[in-house]
Every structure is written in structure tokens, then in C-alpha cells.
Amino acid sequence: MQGLMQDWPLLVSTVIDHARVNHPEREVVTRTCEGPIHRCTYADLHGRAKRCAKALRRLGVREGDVVATLAWNTHRHMEIWYGIMGLGAVCHTLNPRLFLEQLSYIANHAEDKCLFLDLTFVKLAEAMQAHCPTIKGYVIMTDRAHMPETTLANAICYEELLSAEDESFDWVVVDERSAAGLCYTSGTTGNPKGVVYSHRSNVLHALAVNTADMLGLRSVDSVMPIVPMFHANAWATVFSAPMVGAKLVMPGAKLDGASVHELLEAEAVTCTAAVPTVWLGLLQFLESDKTKRLDTLERVVVGGAACPRVVMEKFEDNYGVLVMHGWGMTEMSPMGTASRLKHGMDKLPREQQLGWKLKQGRAPYTVEMKITDDAGKELPRDGKTFGHLLVRGAAIAKGYYKGEGGHGPDATILDENGFFDTGDVATLDAEGFMQITDRAKDVIKSGGEWISSIEIENIAVGHPSVAEAAVIGLPHPKWDERPLLIVVKKKGVEVSKDELLAYLTGKIAKWWMPDDVVFVQEIPHTATGKIQKRDLREQFVAYAWPAA
């Protein structure tokens, strides 16, 4: 017997349609690249997205074509997303923090047909132009008054492009499994690989993100996604917020502590999301001026890298803001877990609560997780055993664009049971909480045992004189590898090796203790803000242990 329910396609266009009908007056507020604050509503954004789709069709873009964006979090970027996807085309977000060579490779591999770009990226696009023959046109996301002089071929002013159209456009009804978005991995090994999101996966993922133990957004919320839209869909917030009618606050290009705080307060933000470096900057700004407060902020989502304990403690203890630790990856759309306390855990002593909250958290419905040993044997969920983290679910990649890195006739990247190897080493416990201990390529193997570099880093950065810390494993004549702690000091303060090692004593196992501490001016990062340990290992390739 078959069910007798309607076959209602899960298309991204239905999200913005829903927002227009049910929350037409709710605001989308943007700090524009030109400077001023811009305000529009979901009804306005819906109409402009239709104008964008109509303009793209006039420019020759058709269903299945790939259209690139090189832009910050703004209302324009958002309406372009919905316009591209509503046309049945594929929205490809380019990460401006990548090197020119990587950007050019990605644009050519994706066969981008045209490029929408913010004012801040005109010079970058000009440098790309000669290397990207598939890009036939450039749309600069500004008005005529701010349109720059440029060598970009066929450059079009975005506002003039939209003003030539009306809103009489019917969204293209494609199969819900059709491609909607394209985002490339950061390419830490080999060339970046393309992850292709479908309409179905985007909608299901946004629904999962909106569940109560994940972001749990509501119409009463004011949400500021600081995580960029070019970082795997801004963690689904540009879909999940319109789904429920939450106000959106788009910070544009200014992500320093003062600018972030200004918008948080001025727009009564209740929920915001970013990587730890952004929150460290905000907390330093707040500590520099004791009169500054967080009057409306209720919860902060921390992802992209492990949340340092000091960040969680300062937000919660000093400002009364709940911190949600999260984890995911481009291949997962991206959110895979969120660390929310379960029933009864709120009654535990504060120290025990922190132990749970500092883990990466629990998977929502639509995500399955397991850990295995090197031979693929599933390991126990005891919260202690380290293993390779594997995942499967409704919004998790089964292959890369054009079959890159896959195996078998369908170029799958999954194992025989349909699981994707995340490349992370983690523990799982009986309560369902997952904790990342390292990337598989970064885990430190000392004397046959594994040491978590992430845990040492998060403790070290809690020292009041430490701005940033990284731990890498380097060859050792007796123990195979030993941990080296690399530290950037806060400006104007001093701290010694002995002080840092004393600070770590009692907080980690004795045999985890770094064999040495070195101080540097800066630590290299990937384009997504994560510590680039490959570069650190190359930097310290000639390092010799003091006692070795």
C-alpha cells in the first residue's frame, strides 16, 4: 500500500515563498559594503530575488548552469542566492580568502558562467579574469553611484540590472534532487573538491538545524550569521531564518569586535554564529571597555574549530549568554552536531556541565555517526576510545563534483555501508555526545598511544597571556612523536615556557605534556580560519627537541 500524501517538492524557492506569505514585514538588516545600514523585508527580498532570476534568464543563464558569487553576508548576496536557485541554476560560492591560483582552479573546474561580486573584491576578480575563460560576465553588487572603474569585461551594475526587470517570474520547478548549490572544500590535501547541495538536502538540513536542540530559531529571534555565506551556506541560517520568520542581521565585511558588538546591540540580536577567532575578538573588545554589555544576546554558536573553554566561561559567566558548541563540515551542509545539555544535566555541578558542553555535541535526526578503528571495525561508545569518525544522512555528500576523489563506477566517497569518513578522530559516548580529538592527519601518536592536540590547545589558550595556541606532533627518537606547543602571546604581556607548562600541569595527562614550547608572532590559518598545521609542520621540520 502506498501513502496518499501530496508530492510537495522540497525546493529552496518554497522557503522564501513561505517567508513572503507568513512573515512579509520581518526585516533583513545589512551593513553594506558602501557603508550605510540597509533595511528591507522578506517581502522585498522575495521580489528582488524574482527580479534577479528574470535578469539572469535575460543574460542567458539556464537551468543547471553554474553562477558564482564572491561576496559577504548581505541582503544582496541572499537575494542572489534565491534568484539563482529559483531559476533552477546552481549557486557557487567562492571563498575570497583562498589564493588566486586556487580561486581560478575552482572557477574553471565548476565552469562558472558569470560572477556576482562585492565592491571589496573587484581587484581580486580582475586578477582572476585572465585565468577564468568560462566566466563571460561580471555583476558588481552596488548601485550606479558607487560603480567603480574596472577592467572586468562586460561589467554590469547590479542595481541597474534589477531595475530593468519586474517581479513577474515563476520559479522554475525542478526535481528536488537537482543541484542548488556548489561549495568547494578548502583543499588542505590536493586540489579543492566540489560539494554539490541539492534543493532537497538544503531544505532538510535547514529543518534539522531549526530543531530545538540545534539552533532552534523562532519568529521572535533576531539572528546574525557572522559565519560567511561562502562557508558552507552560513551554517544554513539563510534558509533556516526565513523558514520561521526570524529577523536576519547581515554584518557585511566588518567583523572586528567593535563592529560586531555595535550590530548585536543596535539590532537586538538574540542568536549569532561564528568561528572562535571572531568571539575572541568580541570578548577582547568587551573586556577593554567595561561599560559595554550584551543586553539582548541569548545564545552564541561556536563552530569551525573547537570552542576554547575560556570563550564559553566568559560568555556564560560574565554576560549570561548560552554558548552552543557545534561541529560539521562542507560535506555535511555543514552542521552535524550541537552541544546542548540533555534532561537532568542542568542539575549537575557547573564543572560537569562544562565537560559535556565543551564536547562537539549530539547529532540531530538526519545524521548518523559511528567511530571505527583503522581496520573499519566499529568501536565502543564509551567516551574514551578514539576512532575515525564516520557519518551518513540526508544532507551528507556521497561524492564530489565530477567524481573527484571517488572510487567505483559511481565515484562514491562512501564505504560499503554508505558512511563518509570525515577525516576526524573522535570519541562517542553513551549519551550520544561526540568529541573531536584531532584530524586524522594531525593526531599525535606517542609511544603507541594517541594524544589530542585540540584538547591541549584549548587549555593553553585559557592562560591569560596566550592569544592563540597550536600543538603539532614532531618526530622523536624514542616516542615516535611528541607534542610541541606553539604560542602567540597577547600584546604587551610576557609569559615563559615554564609558566605555561605549570599551567597545563594537572589539566592533562602527564604523558600528554608538551616536550617544549615555542613563541611565534603568528600562526598560519586556512581560508576557513582553521589552524594550518601542515604549514606549521613544514615550518618546524628542522626543529630539534631540547633533550633529544
| Residue-range domains of the chain with CATH | 9-199 (3.40.50.12780), 442-539 (3.30.300.30)
Sign of CA dihedral 163, 167, 168, 171: positive
The dihedrals phi and psi of 545, each to the nearest 5 degrees, come to: -65, 140
Q: What is the 3-state secondary structure (H, E, C) of 150-195?
A: CCCCCEEEHHHHHHCCCCCCCCCCCCCCCEEEEEECCCCCCCCCEE
50 is catalytic: no
DSSP class of residue 314? I
Average pLDDT over residues 483-507: 94
In the block, residue with C-alpha cell 580529538: 437
pLDDT confidence tier of residue 305, bands split at 50, 70 and 90: confident
Q: How far is CA 131 from CA 164, 236, 417, in A?
A: 31, 31, 41
Per DSSP, which regions of 75-124 are E strands? Answer: 90-93, 114-117
As separate numbers, helices (DSSP H) first and strands (DSSP E) second, the chain gives 16, 24
Distance CA(117)–CA(119), nearest Å, equals: 7
Quick one: how far is CA 346 from the chain centroid? 28
Among left, alpha and beta (phi > 0; psi -120 to 50; other), residue 60 is left
Separation between Cα atoms, residue 112 and residue 116, nearest integer Å: 11
Amino acid identity, position 22: N
Q: Which amino acid is at 234?
A: A
Residues forming a β-bridge with 179: 198
445 is an active site residue: yes
Q: Is 150 a catalytic site residue?
A: no
**Angle between helix 122-129 and 100-110 (nearest 10):** 70
Residues in the chain: 548
Instruction: Report residue 170 CA to chain centroid gap.
Output: 32
Among 30, 185, 366, 528, the active-site one is 185
Name the nearest CA neighbour of 501 among 485, 490, 489, 488: 485
pLDDT digit string (tens) for 427-455? 999 999 999 988 888 888 887 777 888 88
Q: Across-strand partners of 90?
A: 66
Cβ–Cβ contacts within 10 Å for residue 449, how many? 13
* Cell numbers given for 233: 551556506
Determine which of 304-308, 345-349, 402-406, 515-519 has the lowest per-residue pLDDT on average.
Answer: 304-308
* pLDDT tens per residue, range 35-67: 999 999 999 999 999 999 999 999 999 999 999
**Predicted pLDDT of residue 405:** 87
Does the pLDDT of residue 413 top 90, yes or no? yes
184 half-sphere exposure, CB direction, 13 A CA radius: 30
Residue percentage of the chain with pLDDT more than 70: 99
Catalytic pick among 41, 120, 404, 450:
450
Determine contact, residues 138/126, Cβ cutoff 8 Å.
no
**Structure confidence at residue 277 (pLDDT):** 85
Mean pLDDT across 216-242: 96
Annotated catalytic residue within 445, 478, 499, 511: 445
Distance CA 246, CA 244 (A): 6
Residue 125: how many CA atoms within 13 Å on its side-chain side? Answer: 30
- Residue 162's pLDDT is 98
Q: What is the CA radius of gyration of the chain?
A: 24
Task: State yes or no: pLDDT of 238 exceeds 80.
Answer: yes
**Strand 299-302 versus strand 322-328 pairing type:** parallel
Average pLDDT, the chain: 95
Residue 323 has pLDDT above 80, yes or no: yes
Grid coordinates in use for 317? 559567566
The model's confidence at residue 547, banded by pLDDT at 50, 70 and 90, is low
| Rounded Cα–Cα distance for residues 366 and 476 (Å) | 43
**pLDDT tens figures, 136-195:** 999 999 999 999 999 999 899 999 999 999 999 999 999 999 999 999 987 555 789 999
**Could you say which of 27, 176, 331, 457 is catalytic?**
331
Tell me, what's the pLDDT at 529? Answer: 77
The confidence score (pLDDT) of residue 232 equals: 85
pLDDT at 527: 76
pLDDT of residue 450: 79
Nearest to 356 by CA among 341, 334, 343, 378: 341
Active-site annotation holds for 235:
no
Residue type, position 374, single letter: D
SS3 10: coil
Tell me what the mean pLDDT of segment 483-502 comes to. Answer: 95
